[in-house]
Every structure is written in C-alpha cells, then in structure tokens.
A and B are shown apart, each in its own frame.
Chain A
Amino acid sequence: EVQLVESGGGLVKPGGSLRLSCEASGFTFSSYVMTWVRQAPGKGLEWVSSISSSTNYIYYADSVKGRFTISRDNAKNSLYLRMNSLRAEDTAMYSCARVRHGYYFIDIWGQGTMVTVSS
C-alpha cells in the first residue's frame, strides 16, 4: 500500500524550531518529486516547498523562504522539513505529498502532523 506518514509536529514557542519527518512506503521514493503542503486552522491549503527526486531542484513559498529547509534521504525513504524562526502564522497541519511522476499534480497525501506556534 502506498503510504506517507508524517511525524514531528507539536507545540513550539515563537522563534523556535522544529523538524518534521515523512516516511514513505509502498513505492520507489527515490523516483518522485515530494512536496510539503500546510493548512492553517480555518484556512485553505498552502503549498510550502518541493524537492526533486535527486535534490537538484528545491522550491519554497515566499512565506517560508529563508526559514524552512526541505531535504530528503532516499536511502531511508524519508522527507524532512526543518522549520526555524517559527511564527504564529506557521501554525498549521503540515502534510507531505507525492507528485505524480512525469506530471506536476499531487497524487498521494499523508494525513499530516500538527504544528502549533504559541507562547
């Protein structure tokens, strides 16, 4: 079964850091572009960052550029999101997602891990 399972969310103070992980199974992880998407409470979905299969290409939303770092370990079938200088507006459910091979749409989503930034 194709699956993405996120972990690492929690409560953190403004200015703090957190590292999210996403473990993939059921497919050849190293062949796919992977993405992080978030959804703040009561708000719509927001694309956060994407990374190509071999990490040659990395993209960030302007709202997180310079603060978040996406990475992956293909040997461990894992995707990561390092989040620094966290702000209240970063409070959201963070989901990792797979981009369909050869296309640009998301075809598999994880259930997400909640990040709350509050003092």
Chain B
Amino acid sequence: EVVMTQSPATLSVSPGERAILSCRASQSVNSNLAWYQQKPGQAPRLLIYGASTRSTGIPARFSGSGSGTEFTLAISSLQSEDFAVYFCHQYNEGHTFGQGTKLDI
C-alpha cells in the first residue's frame, strides 16, 4: 500500500500570507496525485489533480507541484475562506490518502 504523509499537521498563518503544504508518498505515484479542501460539515472539494492541474472554478492562488514522491500545494495570499483542512490523494496504485493538514489562523 502506498502511504501518504502530509506535513505539517497544522499550519498557522495569517490572511494575506502564503501557505505551503507538503505531501510525501512512500513510493512513486508519478503525477497521479490530487488535493482536496474540506470545511467542517461539508464534502471535500477537488482543488488539484494530476499534481498540478487546477479543477474547474478553483482560483489561481491555489497551485500544485511535484511528481514521484514529493508534492506541494501552495496557496498564495490566503483568504478567510481558505482556512480548512487539506488532504492529498494518490490514485496511481489503488487509492490512499494523506492524514490532512489543518490551515489555521
């Protein structure tokens, strides 16, 4: 099983700042990685797939990068609505998920 490890578990930032979230795979997943945003009581929302392709309607301040085993989600100029939990998902071999990073004010 491919184990996905996200860091940090919690990231405290201020509105207007830039946030960098990391996701590491225990073996190569090529570019078969997605990022999701989840707010309390809501279903997750797809942000990024193919490691770097923004999903329809996702603002340009969200960007994904990486391939193989190391991936990054960057959120520039944080807005109040961006404070949520973010998790990664590899779909190269089955489906496994990271534990999530909580973006906190």
Count A-side interface residues using an 8 Å CB cutoff: 20
In terms of DSSP, what is the predominant structure of the interface of chain A? strand
Interface contact B32-A47, CB-CB below 8 Å: no
Number of A-B residue pairs with CB-CB distance less than 8 Å in the complex they form: 50
Q: How far is the CB of B87 from chain A (nearest CB, A)?
A: 7
B34 contacts the other chain (CB 8 A): yes
Residues B42 and A106 in contact, CB atoms below 8 Å apart: no
Interface residues of B toward A: which range?
A: 20 to 34
Known: A44-B100, A45-B87. A107 touches B46 (CB 8 A): yes
A45-B97, A47-B95, A111-B41 known; 18 new pairs, CB 8 Å cut-off, are A35-B95, A44-B99, A45-B87, A45-B89, A47-B96, A50-B95, A100-B49, A103-B49, A105-B32, A105-B89, A106-B34, A106-B46, A107-B49, A108-B43, A108-B46, A109-B44, A111-B42, A111-B43
Residues of B that sit less than 8 Å from A by CB? 32, 34, 36, 41-46, 49, 55, 87, 89, 91, 94-100
